[in-house]
Amino acid sequence: MWLPPRPPEWMDEGLCSQVDMDLWFPGDGQPSDLPKMICNGREGRPGCPVRAQCLEYALSHDERFGVWGGLSERERGRLMGRSYPKSKSEA
């Protein structure tokens, strides 16, 4: 019987596990500011304690959707050397 792989243990410690998962996967053209602020910290609040592990996981598994490690799909793609057309907010 096939079972899906178990997620890494650090995922249980992520701030993402405390809010609606849809927040981390904004649709095309939707802002990713709120999940990025939660992940990176704001207004004297600490960021996610597993941010570095999350980003490393996303980069090593070529996660192409959602906010991982405080970065959007495009931001991670640029780290990996991909190019994208400019979005409306970047134009």
CB distance 36 to 70 below 8 Å = yes
CB distance 84 to 78 below 8 Å = yes
Confidence of residue 45 (pLDDT cuts 50, 70, 90): confident
56-84 pLDDT, tens digit each = 999 999 998 999 999 998 899 888 887 76
In whole angstroms, how far apart are CA 31 and each of 10, 28, 81, 84? 26, 9, 22, 17
CB distance 76 to 63 below 8 Å = yes
Confidence of residue 86 (pLDDT cuts 50, 70, 90): low
CB distance 69 to 54 below 8 Å = yes
14-39 pLDDT, tens digit each = 998 888 989 999 887 788 899 999 99
